[in-house]
């Protein structure tokens, strides 16, 4: 293992220790309740089927991604600890690094393509964790779900984690790219039924089955996104 990989691994372990520490858990509760008390009324957030987020075992939350508000508004739909992968530069030390770690952030090296991120995510899921993986990758625009990447299917095949498609409507007009202050809109979060990736023939999941699962995930994601958008527009 190279020294840079070793250093990254140590930072990942440190981040996990912070998130599981008493101080980290207390800070997360304060943020959780603050979002519920202040942001939820401001955006008139309503959720549907949030109980699906509380299933036991490793879980991959797979939401659409239209705004930086998506993750903060989503994670407080469940009391369960939710991890998210974050770029390594955010963990350079100091209070801000501690805050990101306490909220469930885990550093990954974005310069190493997706391999490092997938490895870190797999390690978390193997420990029974719940993580966010955006199937579309980066933020998108519009009401159509973009190309779905294979990351969620790959992790589900490796770890047995269930994948939950989640539609979030109303966050794009609330905080589009470049905006500095969120505009008040109506946000709706629709959680779909958990999906399970199983090889019908048993054994290792082949690439063809993973690719079909990814296509099925995109279809389910579009369905819950359509519902969330309709409800956010209707009130």
Tell me the pTM. Answer: 0.90
Beta carbons of 64 and 218 less than 8 angstroms apart? no
- For 93-151, the pLDDT digits (tens) are 789 899 999 999 888 875 544 677 788 889 999 999 999 999 998 889 999 999 999 99
Topology adopted by domain 3-234: Glycerol-3-phosphate (1)-acyltransferase (3.40.1130)
Choice between 90 and 55, residue whose per-residue pLDDT is larger: 55
pLDDT tops 80 at residue 226: yes
User: What's residue 1's pLDDT?
Assistant: 45
Nearest to 151 by CA among 192, 202, 115: 115
Would you kindly state where each structural domain of the chain is located, as residue ranges? 3-234
Residue-wise DSSP of the chain = --HHHHHHHHHHHHHHHHHHSHHHHHHHHHHHHHIIIIIHHHHT-EEE-GGGGG-SS-EEEEE--SSTTHHHHHHTTSSS-EEEEEEGGGGSSSHHHHHHHHTTEEEE-GGGTTHHHHHHHHHHHHTT-EEE--TT-S---SSS--PPPSHHHHHHHHH--EEEEEEEESHHHHS-TT-SSPPP---EEEEPPPB----TTSSSPPHHHHHHHHHHHHHHHHHHHHHHHHHHHH-
Q: What is the pLDDT of residues 11-27, one digit of tens each?
A: 888 888 999 999 999 99
Q: Evaluate if residue 5 carries a pLDDT over 70.
A: no
Looking at the DSSP assignment, which residues form a beta bridge with residue 81?
none
Q: How confident is the model at residue 4 (pLDDT cuts 50, 70, 90)?
A: low
């Amino acid at each position: 293992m190279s020294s840079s990989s070793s250093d990254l691994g140590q930072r990942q372990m440190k981040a996990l220790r912070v998130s599981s520490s008493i101080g980290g858990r207390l800070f997360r509760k304060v943020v959780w309740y603050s979002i519920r008390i202040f942001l939820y009324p401001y955006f008139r957030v309503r959720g549907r089927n949030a109980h699906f987020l509380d299933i036991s075992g490793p879980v991959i939350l797979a939401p659409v991604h239209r705004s930086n508000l998506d993750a903060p508004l989503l994670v407080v739909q469940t009391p369960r600890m939710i991890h998210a992968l974050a770029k390594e530069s955010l963990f350079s030390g100091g209070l801000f690094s501690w805050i990101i770690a306490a909220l469930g952030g885990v550093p990954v090296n974005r310069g190493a393509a997706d391999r490092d991120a997938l490895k870190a995510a797999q390690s978390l899921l193997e420990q029974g964790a719940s993580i966010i993986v955006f199937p579309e990758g980066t933020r998108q625009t519009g009401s159509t779900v973009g190309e779905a990447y294979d990351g969620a299917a790959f992790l589900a095949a490796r770890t047995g984690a269930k994948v939950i498609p989640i539609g979030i409507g109303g966050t794009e007009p609330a905080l589009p790219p470049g905006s500095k202050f969120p505009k008040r809109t109506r946000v709706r979060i629709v959680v779909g039924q958990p999906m399970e990736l199983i090889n019908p023939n048993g054994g290792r999941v082949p690439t063809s089955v993973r690719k079909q699962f990814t296509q099925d995930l995109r279809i389910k994601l579009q369905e819950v996104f359509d519902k969330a958008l309709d409800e956010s527009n209707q009130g």
